[in-house]
Chains A and B, each alone.
Chain A
Amino acid sequence: MRVRAVLLVEDDIAMRDEALEALLVFPRATVIVAGTLVEAGRLVRTRSFDLALVDLGLPDGSGVTLIGQFTSQHPAMTCVARTVFDDDETLFAALAAGAGGYLLKGGEMAELRSQLLAAARGEPVISPAIARKVLGYFRGNAAFARPTASASPLTAREAEVLGAVGRGATIQETAALLGITGNTAKSHVKGVYAKLGIRTRVAAANEARRLGLLHNEEA
Chain B
Amino acid sequence: MSLPALATCADDGPVPVEPSDSPSSAAPAARLGAAIAVCLFLAAVCAIVATSAPWLGLRLAPADSARIVVVNRVHRVGAAASTVREGEQLLRVSSAGGVVALVGSDLLEEPDLLDTWPEMTTFYARQSALTRVLASGPVTLTLRDADARERDVVITPHARPLSSLPFVFWMQLAFGMTGCLIGVWVWSLRPTDWATRMYAATGAMFVVFTYTAAIYSARELALPGGLFGALDLVNHLGATLFGAALCGIFLTYPEPIVRPRVLGALFGLAFIWWLLDVTRVAPDQNWASRLPVMIEMAGAIVLAGVQWRRAKGDPAARSVLRWFALCVLVGCGLFVTLNVVTAYSGVIPVLPQGYAFGFFTLMYAGLAVGLRRHRLFDLDEWALRILLWGFAAVLLVAFDLIALARLGRTRSLGLTLLLALAYLPLRQWLWDRLLRRERIAPELLFDEALLVGFAGSDVERTTRWRALLERVFEPLHVTVEATHVSRVTLCDDGLVLTVPAVASSQALRLSHPWGGRRLFATRHVRLAETLVRLMRSADEGRDAFAQGVLRERSRIARDLHDDVSSPLLAGLGTASNDQVRADIRSALTQMRSIVTGTATMPMSLDDCIADIRFDAVKRLSEHRIAVDWPLPAFRNVMLDGAQARDLAMLHQETVTNIIKHAGASRVIVRISVHHDRIRSRIADDGIGFARTQVRRGQGLANLEARATTLGGTVAIGSDANGRGTVVELDVPVALTTLIG
* Residue in B482, B585, B591, B612 whose CB lies within 8 Å of A156: B482
CB of A143 within 8 A of CB of B543, answer: yes
Are B539's CB and A141's CB within 8 A? yes
A178 to chain B, nearest CB (A): 13
Contact residues on A (Cβ < 8 Å of other chain), bracket: 35 or more
Which chain B residue lies CB-closest to A172?
B621
Name B539-596 residues within 8 Å CB distance of A: 539-540, 542-543, 546-547, 549-550, 553-554, 557-558, 560-561, 565-566, 568-570, 572-574, 584-585, 588, 591-592, 595-596
Cβ of B5 within 8 Å of any chain A Cβ, yes or no, is no
CB < 8 Å: which of B558, B573, B591 contacts A57? Answer: B558
Contact call A167/B631, Cβ cutoff below 8 A: yes
Binds B, one of A28-36, A67-75, A80-88, A194-202: A80-88
Q: Kindly specify which of B78-86, B117-125, B603-611 makes contact with the partner chain.
A: B603-611
CB-contacts of A159-182 with B (<8 A): 164-170, 172-173
Whole-angstrom CA separation of A86 from B557 in the bound complex: 11
Q: Are A167 and B606 in contact (CB under 8 A)?
A: yes
Please determine whether B596 and A85 come into contact, CB atoms closer than 8 angstroms: yes
Q: How large is the interface on B (under 10, 10 to 19, 20 to 34, 35 or more residues)?
A: 35 or more
Asked if A139 lies at the interface with its beta carbon under 8 angstroms from chain B, I say yes
Flag if B502 contacts A170 (CB, 8 Å): no
Any chain A CB within 8 A of the CB of B256? no
Among B542, B574, B584, B614, which residue has its beta carbon within 8 angstroms of that of A106? B584
Q: How far is the CA of A166 from the CA of B604 in the complex (A)?
A: 12
Residue of B nearest to A217 (CB): B551
| Cβ-defined contact, A143 with B561, below 8 A | no
In the complex, how many angstroms separate the beta carbon of B598 from the nearest chain A beta carbon? 9
Instruction: Decide: A149 and B486 in contact? CB cutoff 8 A.
Output: yes
Query: What 0/1 readout, one digit per residue, does chain A (135-162) give for beta carbons within 8 Å of chain B?
Result: 0100111011010010001001000000
- At the interface, yes or no: B504 with Cβ under 8 Å from chain A? yes
* A173 partner, pick from B501, B557, B568, B617, beta carbons under 8 A: B617
In the complex, whether B142 has a CB less than 8 A from a CB of chain A is no
B329-373: contact bitstring with A at CB < 8 Å (1 yes, 0 no)? 000000000000000000000000000000000000000000000
Chain B residues whose CB sits within 8 angstroms of the CB of A213 once the complex forms: none
The reply to whether B553 and A132 contact each other, CB–CB distance below 8 Å, is no
A74 to chain B, nearest CB (A): 28
A87 B631 Cβ-Cβ under 8 A: no
Q: How far is the CA of A70 from the CA of B177 in the complex (A)?
A: 75
Q: Does B484 contact A (CB under 8 A)?
A: yes
Among A143, A153, A164, which residue has its beta carbon within 8 angstroms of that of B550?
Answer: A143
A146 and B543: CB pair below 8 A?
A: yes
Q: Are A219 and B557 in contact (CB under 8 A)?
A: yes
Please, what's the 1-or-0 string for B429-468, where 1 marks a CB less than 8 Å from any CB in chain A? 0000000000000000000000000000010000000000
Is B712 an interface residue, CB under 8 A from the partner?
Answer: no
Instruction: Select one of B502, B617, B632 contacting A167, CB under 8 A.
Output: B632
Assess whether B588 is in contact with A106, with CB atoms less than 8 Å apart: yes
Measured between beta carbons, the chain B residues less than 8 angstroms from A87 are 553, 557, 592, 595-597
B133 within 8 A of A: no
In-complex Cβ contact of B502 among A114, A141, A153, A156 (8 A): A141
Please tell me which stretch of A10-18, A38-46, A185-193 contacts chain B, meaning at least 4 of its Cβ atoms lie within 8 angstroms of it: A10-18
22 residue pairs of the A-B complex, CB under 8 angstroms, read A14-B573, A14-B574, A17-B573, A57-B561, A85-B561, A85-B591, A87-B557, A87-B595, A106-B568, A106-B585, A127-B611, A132-B610, A143-B546, A156-B482, A165-B614, A166-B610, A167-B610, A167-B632, A168-B612, A169-B631, A170-B614, A170-B618
Apart from A106-B565, A143-B546, A219-B557, 10 more pairs, CB < 8 Å: A85-B560, A85-B592, A87-B557, A87-B596, A105-B565, A106-B585, A128-B607, A129-B611, A143-B542, A167-B606
Task: Give 10 nearest A-B pairs by CB, closest first.
Answer: A168-B610, A143-B546, A168-B613, A87-B596, A128-B610, A14-B573, A219-B554, A141-B504, A167-B631, A139-B501
A: residues with CB less than 8 A from B are 12, 14-15, 17-18, 57, 84-90, 105-106, 108, 114, 127-129, 132, 136, 139-141, 143-144, 146, 149, 153, 156, 164-170, 172-173, 219
